[in-house]
Structure 1
Amino acid sequence: MTAPNIETVAVKTPYWDIAANIQFPPDFDASKKYPAIIAAHPIGSCKEQTAGNIYGKALAEAGYVVIAFDASYQGESGGEPRFTEDPWQRVADFSHVVDFLLTVPYVDADRIGVIGVCGGGGYSIAAAKTERRIKAVASITGVNFGNLLNEAFSAYDPVATLEAISAQRSAEVLGAEAEVQNLLPPTVEDAKGANIDVEEATEYYKTDRGQAPGGTTCSLVSRRASGYGWDAFLNVEKLLTQPLIVVIGDKPGAFGAYRDGLEVYRRAASTKKELVVAEGFSHYDLYDQPEPVKIALDRVIPFFAANL
């Protein structure tokens, strides 16, 4: 697959710039109008990883203008304090990216879709509920971040975890040093024997397979609290009416993508919706492994062709 041309842009917002890469179709002609797809990266990831360099690249090759962006507070985007994973802000970022696309002369404003991987899949669904300029949604092994926090990321004790977060934030206000935690073990060897999602995440993010400068997998402890009260799937029965495709692997892990994918597929109000189960593959297989990625793209590319 020939790598498409890439342009780095700054998406203006009222508070800081969002960094994004635009990938162009082969034989791109700026005098024409193209459908556009927004690509959203996983939690702790960045625009240069799976959403951009795997799915974004393939969709650009298929004829779409693809814009992969770094979440606020992360990667090359603005926002302080760094390493903040704020689901409310991440959803708001989508609307600013849509605003930007409307100012680009070669983008057809009536044909904007979104694709997200892992947490980006959950955020894509959440954004589409209220951002009606998004016309079609693809979730690749999407995770509802609120579920993840209340379950695996808090050892199923969210109240005790929130008490600890509150104590850390109070300490920082009074002068203590900020606590930044890595969400994964430091090496593949350290991750051996852990849940499949933790083990495979470490293999992806901590080796040459998936490492990128902006993909830190770090989290600022004192700014985690808001996510515990957030639910990507709230009101999907009423508000998520756009065409939807959900891709999951059938090897479930602690991060919950298999369960979350089945749930949102069942609950979404979309009259056009598809569920794709990559049999024999896991959450992180769908990040970059050729066979499951092909299973996903063989359905996602025709889905966007039919709905954008």
Structure 2
Amino acid sequence: MSGIDIMADAGPVHDYRDNQFGLVYEYPITENEPGKVNIHPVSYTLRGLKIVANVYTPAGYDPGSSYPAITVAHPNGGTKEQTAGRYAQRLAEQGYITIAADAAYQGHSEGEPRSTDKPYFRTDDIHGMADLLGTFPGVDPDRMAALGICGGGGYTLNAAKSDKRFKAVATISMFNSGRVRRNGMQDSALDSIQDKLDQASEARALEASGGEVRYAGDADLTDEQIAAQPFPLYREGYVYYWKTHACPGSTFKYTMSSLLDLMTWDATDQLELIDVPLLLIAGSEADTRYMSDDALSKATGTDDKELFLLEGAQHIQTYWIDQYVDAALGKLTEFYARTV
């Protein structure tokens, strides 16, 4: 597969500089217009860090009225301007107040070292979005739900285990970051676990001594190197994040020291604590589908649960291809209308 073929399969390039809100997803808001869905850039403090987010309000939004609300957590390496924003905007079109925030240490939010990706932080980011929505004019705090995409899906499951403000929870292309960092994609790297832990421990010690911050994950690949990646998730992901939907703060890198936390964590641990309606959406052809299958079987705390498959879809394709996004949103709209 050539670099040209990669780009041909990935759709048009979206330049964040062409949108006043920096949005790079398909059909974005370009300006706030009366009577339409509007976007409200906001910031707030969480764990002493400034978090940057976008709140979307429905057409005809009245701060004195009462609306259901949804938190939308972005994928690993992603930002609020990409697929999380697209789903947040589309759900606002259905009458929800939604929020998409950059995770701490990522995107436009504060936190050093950059690209730290630790489960506690990512999970608390979702609690923080719920905090913000709970005080946003017009939000009914008793009608709040959660949505997470890719890694944000795994962290959303983790948040919903304990945060009973969420009356329903859904994921799209759920990615269990702990399992994959520990075992490799499709459990293909079990023999390297101890080596990775050694590298993470060394990286932590180096940071503690004031040395360089080491990173895992690739930061810059050629088209040929992208095409040679063994899994569609990575091939399509590099193109999505670096080429067609690139924006500041979006990267495949994460601090090597984060592995100390990631590799001892699993999104499906104690999943039985979720006792509210649960919807898992995944591409039927996605190399990550097994993670949603696993979560469904372990979510024994609720009888109201479903795995909905997008026929023919790969993981990254659920972010941007219209037929899959539309199908996912149709299912989400039905789910949230019934549950919140």
TM-score bracket relative to the smaller structure:
over 0.9
Return the match for 1:263 from 294, 306, 313. 294
**Superposition deviation, residue 173 in structure 1:** 3.2
Aligned length: 302
Q: Is it true that 1:199 corresponds to 2:199 in the alignment?
A: no
Question: For 1:241, which of 260, 269, 275 is the aligned residue?
Answer: 275
Q: Distance in 2 between matches of 1:34 and 1:118?
A: 26
1:288-299 residue pairs with structure 2 within 5 A?
288-299=320-331
- Equivalent positions of 1:172-183 (< 5 A) are 172-183=207-218
What secondary structure sits across from 1:191 in the alignment?
Answer: helix
Q: Decide which of 82, 93, 98 is 2:114's aligned counterpart.
A: 82
Native 8 Å contact 1:49 1:215 kept in 2: no
Counterparts of 1:219 and 1:129, CA distance in 2: 25
Any unmatched runs of 5+ in structure 2? 1-26, 30-36
Q: Deviations over 1:212-246 (max 9, x none)?
A: 11212221213331111111111112x11111110
User: In 2, Cα distance between the equivalents of 1:29 and 1:198?
Assistant: 42
What does residue 202 of structure 2 align with? 167
Q: Identity, % of aligned pairs?
A: 36
Q: The residue matched to 2:293 in structure 1 has which SS?
A: helix
Contact 2:113 2:213 in 1 (8 A): no
Q: Judge conservation of contact 1:25–1:60 (CA < 8 Å) in 2.
A: yes
In the alignment, structure 1 segments of 5+ residues that lack a partner are none
Map 1:26-105 onto structure 2 (within 5 A).
26-52=59-85, 54-105=86-137
Residue 9 (structure 1) aligns with = 42
1:205 Cα deviation from its structure 2 partner: 0.9
Aligned match of 2:158: 126
Contact 1:186 1:206 in 2 (8 A): no
For residues 29-69 of structure 1, give each alpha carbon's deviation from its aligned partner in whole angstroms, at most 9, with x where no partner exists: 112111111010001111111111x2111101111111001
Shift of 1:278: 1.1
CA distance in 1, matches of 2:45, 2:211: 33
Deviation at 1:117, TM superposition (A): 0.6
Sort the Cα spacing of 1:188 and 1:290 in 2 relative to 1 into closer, same or farther, 3 A.
farther
* 1:189 equivalenced with 2:221 (yes/no): no
**How many Å apart are 1:182 and its aligned residue?**
4.2
Alpha-carbon distance in 2 for matches of 1:44, 1:273? 28
Amino acid at match of 1:289: I
Letter in 1 for 2:204: R
CA offset at residue 185 of structure 1?
5.1
Tell me: CA distance 1:176–1:16, structure 2 relative to 1, closer, same or farther (3 Å).
Answer: closer
1:21 is the counterpart of 2:57: no
Distance 1:2 1:216, change over 3 A: closer
Where in structure 2 are the equivalents of 1:199-218 lying within 5 Å? 199-207=235-243, 209-218=244-253
Q: Matched residue of 1:280: which SS? A: coil
8 A Cα contact 2:69 2:145, kept in partner: yes
Give yes or no for contact 2:219–2:251 (8 Å, CA) kept in 1. Answer: no
Distance (Å, rounded) in 1 between the aligned partners of 2:211 and 2:128:
34
Match of 2:313 among 278, 281, 287: 281
Partners in 2 of 1:152 and 1:14 — Cα distance?
A: 31
Question: Residue 44 of structure 1 aligns to a residue in which SS?
Answer: coil
Aligned partner of residue 92 in structure 1, secondary structure: helix
